[in-house]
Amino acid sequence: MRIAVCVKHAIDETELKTGPGGRPVLEGAACKVSVFDKNAVEEALRMRSAQGGEVVAFTIGSEDARKSLKEALAMGADRGVLVVGAQASLDTGRTARTIAAAVKKEGAFDVVLCSEGSSDTYSGQVPPMLAEALGTAYVGYARKIQLEGGKAKVERLLEDSVEEVEAPMPVVVSVVSEINEPRYPTLIQIMQASKKPVQEIPESQLAVDPGSSPVAVLGMSVQTSSRKRVIIEGGPEDAAAKLIQELEKEGVLR
Amino acid sequence: MVLLAAAYIVTYAVSLLSAAAIFATVFVRSRRASAGLGAGRLLELTREEARRSISGDPVFLMHASIALGVGVSIAEVVLAPVLPALFALRILLLAVSVPATAGLAVAFAWRVQRFVQSKSVERSLHTTGAFSSASTRMQGILMVAIALTASELVVAWLPAFALVDAAVSIVRNSLVVAYYVGPTVNLISRVGTRLPSVETPFVLSDIMSGKVDASTVRSGVGDYPDFSPKESLSFDSCVEIGACEASCPATAAGRPLSPRVLMRKLSLHSDAGGEGGPFAVVGEDELWSCTSCGACVSSCPVGVKHLDIVYDLRRDLVARGKLDKEKAGMLENLARSQNPYGFKQSDRAKWAEGLGVQTASESSRAEYVYWVGCVASFDQRAQRVARSMAKIMKSAGVSFAILGQDEACVGDPARRLGEEGRYQELVYQNVEKLNSLGAKKVVTTCPHCFNSLKNEYPRFGGEYEVVHHTQLISDLVRSGRLKVPPDRVREVSVTLHDACYASRYNNIFDEPREALGSSVSDVREMKRNGEKTFCCGAGGSNYWFKVPEQRTISGIRAKEAAETGAKAVATECPFCLSMLEDSSKVMGTGMEVRDVAEIVADAVP
Amino acid sequence: MSEQVWAYSGSGEVQCELMSAALELAEKSGRSAVAVELGRQREEVVAQSRLVVKGAGDDPLPEVAAEALTRAARSRHPSTILVGATRNGREVASRVAARLGWPCLSEASKLSIDGAQLQANRTVFAGKVVATVSCGLPAVVTIKPAFYPKSTASGKEVDEFDAGELTGVVKLLSRRKKEAGAVDLRKAKAIVSAGRGVKRKEDLPMLQSLAEELGGALGCSRPLSSDLGWLPEECHIGLTGVTVKPDLYVAVGISGQLQHIAGMKDSKVVVAVNTDKDAPIFQASDYGIVADLYQVVPAIKKALESRR
């Protein structure tokens, strides 16, 4: 069983700073592995322990993105592939085509795992686009995956319903965080992971189609809350009474 | 007549041989376990046994009686031919054997009661039938050995039964050789090892420096051969005395753990081939149930060190990623934020705002580094302990400084959970900081921080004079530097809850009582106090996750506190404070729960 | 036929929201807005103009829906295809974009058109930042649910397109309603939301009864549903849970991590109760009470009862 798992080296929104003009400071912003991707890595590892085989983690970005690969390797992935020179962006089509090219270059995979969306942009588009680019089946929002006889039986968690579907392998599957509990890599495992192989592929080698019309980011601004931020003082009874008065004025009490 | 004489001589000779066999096997096996039988070692062992027995601990009383009983009965057999002639020796033996016989009677009664309870524990733990019968057999042997020794002591005074006496001693001595030599060797090998000592599976600096290859590092035990010989000897030495089970807070709370059952399962399973490794018979929650309070280790008369085994098995669970969100989240917080909560380190000194407390980098000439600890730094309730301690030190003119955001978690929660690497990383980070500031004396309001800093940090290059805040406070009161005006002494009854890591681990008993006595009129004792204190339920990293249980450990303790009739509980640990305050509310005991520092600070003008 | 703005969602409700967006965009650019429906015309969809794509069957899997839309688009050349950013919608949009070779904007709100460029706002970094993104036309766009109001403009114009035979490689074995989740938080007018400040599961009924007193429902932050399992996942409000926008949102014992704020920030009025005066939730609230929830919640309930 060959399993590919995609991880994103995403800006850590909790550490994001605001620069001049209310723009977020993205240059040099702290990044970490997109938290939901750990579920995908965990699922890949569970598949490997059940079926045997190899888990290869893929990411794209700068040298710094090695950190996210290392996280996947520390959790237990066998090796990593880093596409350098490319950047995961809001141009999800391009991102997906880049990953697809790298995955293809590494040979045939039985399963490609992704998370449902990234912690920074949460578009949820790369996984299905990746399947399109690879020409494989795709199942999204999996909360349970069973592999058997060249088929993947998947339970999909949707807004109002649960679906059970069957897809032929090779297949791209995106998982929801309910699927598992990602393991915590110990410090020793992190140190051991630095000895695991990471292959760098320059984006230029992949000849990725730039697409008919790229998605461009025109600007960004940090949301300033327009909340009133009134702190109601007093003991519990006083505060409660004052609050009810205010809410009546707001017209939100029935 | 001749036949009888011959029988007597043969029996007598065999009896002597069996007695000699005890000493010989102990001697040989001690040598093999590289636990020398030096006079110093034996003296220390005897002294410790005597101390615990005199303190009235029934388990040790029993243990000493058995040892004494065996000794006396052997002496009686050996000296039988000359004994009638030596009146003084007879008196001496009588003087020893009477209390020994009484002690054995008490031991037998206690043991029977433990047997009944052990079966109820086994039922609630759903142990296998095979285990239960093996356990019944082992407990039966112990009771038979006690009974034989007692009856032998009595029979010895009836010259007509000399043959019976010798025969009984043969049976008893054979039992001792078969079952109790291992435990004795274990006990001898443990002399001088204190409760706080934790086995260090690897040293991070050796890996960092390349001296040890990271890929060869093994952390934890996943199979029986991975246990060190010491650890194997430890669980194999369990003869189901049951003292650990009687004192274990996890067992008392109906958690899926009994230290006795855990040790015996490992021993029986490994003897039977150990297929599937320890985790074939040990459950995950069984291991997480342990609060590392040390009651089992401290109460075990044969020196079994349950904690080493729990830690090693936990380490394996951590390495295999067998952690739920709470445990993994706590470790991730430690990795990212250097505190188990995941709060920003820059907020660590917020509790001190407006108090004029210096940070060590500004004022490195301060006498003490006040090691605040994560709970008192971030937990709003516990912050009052830190503020109280600051007030006390200022009032007594103690020069101190805090590390502020440079103080990282001491590492205790990571180590007890089984993440040794993260623990050592935090230790090295803290040692580097403390050493760079030239810290000499450290005072801390948390016994877990205290224990790590005092007993564990030296191994990693951090040697400081570490005091627990109750020690410093009592010192300040005694020396008159801290003055509590008589009119400010509160007329109130308070009972002190000894923190495991202060009392049992580090023998801090008198200082918190002295400190408390300076500020309140009536200090009462709970039934279990001092080194026999009962856990609050938070230790061993248990504060950070949940384990299935029938009742809370803190609830049991809150009830014991209420039984003293005191109006308030004094604590000396921020974890105990939080646990007992919650359960006092839940149990509706109406008791105020406050740290010793808070109570004293209130009395200081 | 002028260039069209298409709107498609498997959910009738979201489809109506998309029609508002489509109409707005169509008006700005002199195009027409068309509701695309697969298989059959649905009553719950309100639209002036529809295109019914035959061949996909009712409620097709996203793979098949995508192929139906792709074929229709290849034949009819719309300028823009709006798709509701539901779980299935994201897959449909991504596949259509990939198959047609069009760019795709995601999670969009506030669409506008400038010549041949389509512009949209969307939030990134857990709602902390608004990004303005653009791409050339034609394009696929996923629209954030619950941003646009439901369109009420109805009409009778219906067109049909036969997509031919459509099959996919993914087979549906079963489909069932999601378990539990009695209340749909997305529709609640008032929500009381519980966080880690709530000490025990047994204390939740206290908050439930406050919610009922307010005529609303009980929700929670991630730890209570995902970590502790005290409430079903449907109650989890946040980035990875449900996004809500009630008139009144009362956050009780919630510290206000971004993940959570992202799911409730569009609420009309936000009230927070927390013991920590520095909890970030107060920055995202209109009214804050810094106190023990165990004292304040009963007090609020009592005040509400006496008001009646």
DSSP C308: -
pLDDT at C224 over 90: no
On whether residue C177 sits in a domain, the answer given is: no
pLDDT, position A244: 93
Return the structure tokens found at B273. 């081939």
Return the structure tokens found at B263. 């040790």
For residue B349, give how far its alpha carbon lies from the nearest alpha carbon of chain C (Å): 14
**Does A39 contact chain B (CB < 8 Å)?**
no
Asked if C275's CB is within 8 angstroms of B326's CB, the reply is no
Pick the range with the lowest mean pLDDT from A220-229, B271-280, C67-76, C283-292: A220-229
Structure ipTM: 0.90
Nearest to A187 among B323, B328, B421 (CB): B421
CB-CB neighbors (< 8 A) of B582 in chain C: 199
Asked if C295's CB is within 8 angstroms of A160's CB, the reply is no
pLDDT at B363 over 70: no
Asked if C178's CB is within 8 angstroms of A161's CB, the reply is yes
Nearest to A184 among B204, B219, B332 (CB): B332
CB-CB neighbors (< 8 A) of B347 in chain C: 278
On whether residue C116 sits in a domain, the answer given is: yes
Q: Residue C52: CB partners within 8 Å, gap ≥ 6?
A: C37, C38, C39, C40, C41, C158, C159, C160, C161
Q: Which backbone phi and psi does B131 adopt, to 5 degrees? A: -65, -50
**DSSP string covering C173-231:** EEEEEPSS--S-GGG-SEEEEE-TT---GGGHHHHHHHHHHTT-EEEE-HIIIIIS-SS
How far apart CA A23 and CA C56 sit, in angstroms, is: 45
On whether residue C175 sits in a domain, the answer given is: no
| pLDDT tens per residue across span A72-82 | 999 999 999 99
User: CA Rg, chain B, in Å?
Assistant: 27
For residue A227, give how far its alpha carbon lies from the nearest alpha carbon of chain B (Å): 24
Pick the range with the lowest mean pLDDT from B56-70, B236-250, C15-29, C33-47: B56-70
Asked if B202's CB is within 8 angstroms of A186's CB, the reply is no
Count of structural domains, chain C: 2
Half-sphere exposure of A62 (CA within 13 A, CB side): 9
| pLDDT tens per residue across span B83-106 | 777 888 878 888 888 888 888 888
Q: Residue A251: CB partners within 8 Å, gap ≥ 6?
A: none
pLDDT, position B45: 83
Q: From the candidates C227, C233, C295, which should be mutated to test the interface with B, based on the most B CB atoms within 10 A?
A: C227
| Cβ within 8 Å of A, C 174-233 | 174-179, 189-190, 214-215, 226, 233
How far apart CA C307 and CA A9 sit, in angstroms, is: 53
For residue A176, give how far its alpha carbon lies from the nearest alpha carbon of chain B (Å): 16
Instruction: Please state at what angle helix B510-517 crosses helix B469-478, rounded to 10 degrees.
Output: 50
- Widest Cα–Cα separation across chain C: 65
Return the structure tokens found at B367. 């006498």
Q: What percent of chain A has pLDDT over 90?
A: 77
pLDDT, position C232: 86
C-alpha separations of B483 from B356, B395, B478, B602 in Å: 21, 8, 9, 12
Residues C109, C197 share a domain: no
Burial class (CB in 10 A: 0-12, 13-18, 19+), B583: buried
Overall average pLDDT of the B227-245 stretch: 94
Residues C298, C221 share a domain: yes
Asked if C226's CB is within 8 angstroms of B582's CB, the reply is no
Asked if B329's CB is within 8 angstroms of C226's CB, the reply is no
Question: pLDDT grade, residue C147 (50/70/90)?
Answer: confident
Q: What percent of chain C has pLDDT over 90?
A: 59
CB-CB neighbors (< 8 A) of A181 in chain B: 323-325, 328
Residue pair A217/A90 in contact by the 8 Å Cβ criterion: yes
pLDDT, position B35: 64
**Does A181 contact chain B (CB < 8 Å)?**
yes
Residues C151, C201 share a domain: no
Residues C110, C44 share a domain: yes
Residue pair C109/C147 in contact by the 8 Å Cβ criterion: yes
Asked if A16's CB is within 8 angstroms of C101's CB, the reply is no
Residues C156, C9 share a domain: yes
Nearest to A247 among C102, C248, C295 (CB): C248
Nearest alpha carbon to residue B583 among B545, B524, B538, B539: B538
Mean pLDDT, chain B, integer = 91
Residues C155, C189 share a domain: no
For residue A80, give how far its alpha carbon lies from the nearest alpha carbon of chain C (Å): 26
Q: What is the dihedral of CA B272, B275, B277, B280, to 10 degrees?
A: -90
Which secondary-structure segment (H or E) carries A79? Answer: strand A79-84
Residues C195, C149 share a domain: no
Half-sphere exposure of B529 (CA within 13 A, CB side): 18
- The better pLDDT of the pair C116, A97 is held by A97
CB-CB neighbors (< 8 A) of A146 in chain C: none
* Among chain C residues, CA nearest to A231: C288
| pLDDT tens per residue across span A64-116 | 999 999 999 999 999 999 999 888 888 899 999 999 999 999 999 999 999 99
CB-CB neighbors (< 8 A) of B554 in chain C: none
pLDDT, position C260: 87
pLDDT, position C92: 98
Asked if B325's CB is within 8 angstroms of C227's CB, the reply is yes
Burial state string for B485-511 with b = 16 or more CB within 10 A and e = fewer than 16? eeeeebeeebbbbbbbbbbbbbebbeb
Half-sphere exposure of B311 (CA within 13 A, CB side): 26
Return the structure tokens found at B308. 């080493």
Mean pLDDT, chain A, integer = 93
pLDDT, position B256: 97
* Among chain C residues, CA nearest to B546: C228
CATH of the domain at C14: 3.40.50.620
Neighbour subunits, A (≥3 Cβ pairs < 8 A): B, C
How far apart CA B309 and CA B312 sit, in angstroms, is: 5
pLDDT at B275 over 50: yes
Residues C138, C211 share a domain: no
Return the structure tokens found at B53. 């027995």
How far apart CA C254 and CA C282 sit, in angstroms, is: 10
| pLDDT tens per residue across span B508-557 | 999 999 999 999 999 999 999 999 999 999 999 999 888 888 999 999 99
Burial class (CB in 10 A: 0-12, 13-18, 19+), C200: exposed
Which secondary-structure segment (H or E) carries B67? Answer: helix B58-79
How far apart CA B22 and CA B169 sit, in angstroms, is: 12
pLDDT at C1 over 50: no
Burial class (CB in 10 A: 0-12, 13-18, 19+), B280: exposed
pLDDT at B64 over 90: no
Return the structure tokens found at B561. 């506190």
On whether residue C168 sits in a domain, the answer given is: no
pLDDT, position B487: 93
* Among chain C residues, CA nearest to B324: C227
Give the number of beta-carbon pairs within 8 Å between A and C.
Answer: 265
CB-CB neighbors (< 8 A) of C226 in chain B: 325
CB-CB neighbors (< 8 A) of C87 in chain A: 116, 124, 140-141, 156-159
Residue pair B426/B448 in contact by the 8 Å Cβ criterion: no
Residues C157, C17 share a domain: yes
pLDDT, position C180: 54
Q: Is the Cα torsion angle B344, B348, B349, B350 positive or negative in sign? A: positive
Neighbour subunits, C (≥3 Cβ pairs < 8 A): A, B
Residues C205, C157 share a domain: no
Neighbour subunits, B (≥3 Cβ pairs < 8 A): A, C
* Among chain A residues, CA nearest to C129: A222
Structure-token match 């198959």, residue found:
C99
SS3 B241: coil
Burial class (CB in 10 A: 0-12, 13-18, 19+), B381: middle
On whether residue C179 sits in a domain, the answer given is: no
C-alpha separations of B190 from A207, B193, B291, B435 in Å: 68, 5, 22, 33
On whether residue C172 sits in a domain, the answer given is: no
On whether residue C287 sits in a domain, the answer given is: yes
pLDDT at B298 over 60: yes
CB-CB neighbors (< 8 A) of C199 in chain B: 582
Q: C138 is in which domain, residue-wise? A: 4-162
For residue A50, give how far its alpha carbon lies from the nearest alpha carbon of chain B (Å): 15
Asked if B321's CB is within 8 angstroms of A183's CB, the reply is yes
CB-CB neighbors (< 8 A) of B222 in chain A: none
CB-CB neighbors (< 8 A) of B325 in chain C: 226-227
* Cα A39 from chain centre: 9
**Does C113 contact chain A (CB < 8 Å)?**
no
Residues C23, C138 share a domain: yes
C-alpha separations of B85 from B46, B80, B98, B165, C23 in Å: 30, 10, 20, 19, 120
* Among chain B residues, CA nearest to C229: B325
Nearest alpha carbon to residue C67 among C86, C87, C47, C91: C91
Return the structure tokens found at B587. 């149990």
CB-CB neighbors (< 8 A) of B329 in chain C: 227
How far apart CA C158 and CA C120 sit, in angstroms, is: 29
Give the number of beta-carbon pairs within 8 Å between A and B.
Answer: 54
Q: What type of residue sits at position C20?
A: S
Q: Give the number of other CB atoms < 10 A from CB of residue A240.
A: 25
| pLDDT tens per residue across span B104-130 | 888 899 899 999 999 999 999 999 999
Residues C26, C131 share a domain: yes
Nearest to B217 among A76, A185, A188 (CB): A188
CATH of the domain at C205: 3.40.50.1220
Return the structure tokens found at B269. 């399973």
Asked if B326's CB is within 8 angstroms of C227's CB, the reply is yes
pLDDT, position B36: 66
Domain end position, chosen among C162, C196, C221: C162
* Assessment of whether the complete model's pTM goes beyond 0.90: no
| pLDDT tens per residue across span B156-192 | 777 777 788 888 888 988 999 999 999 999 988 888 7
| Cβ within 8 Å of C, B 325-384 | 325-326, 329, 347, 350, 380
Q: What percent of chain B has pLDDT over 70?
A: 99
* Cα B275 from chain centre: 30
How far apart CA C23 and CA C28 sit, in angstroms, is: 9
Domain end position, chosen among C162, C196, C213: C162
On whether residue C174 sits in a domain, the answer given is: no
| pLDDT tens per residue across span C106-115 | 999 889 988 8
How far apart CA C191 and CA C242 sit, in angstroms, is: 12
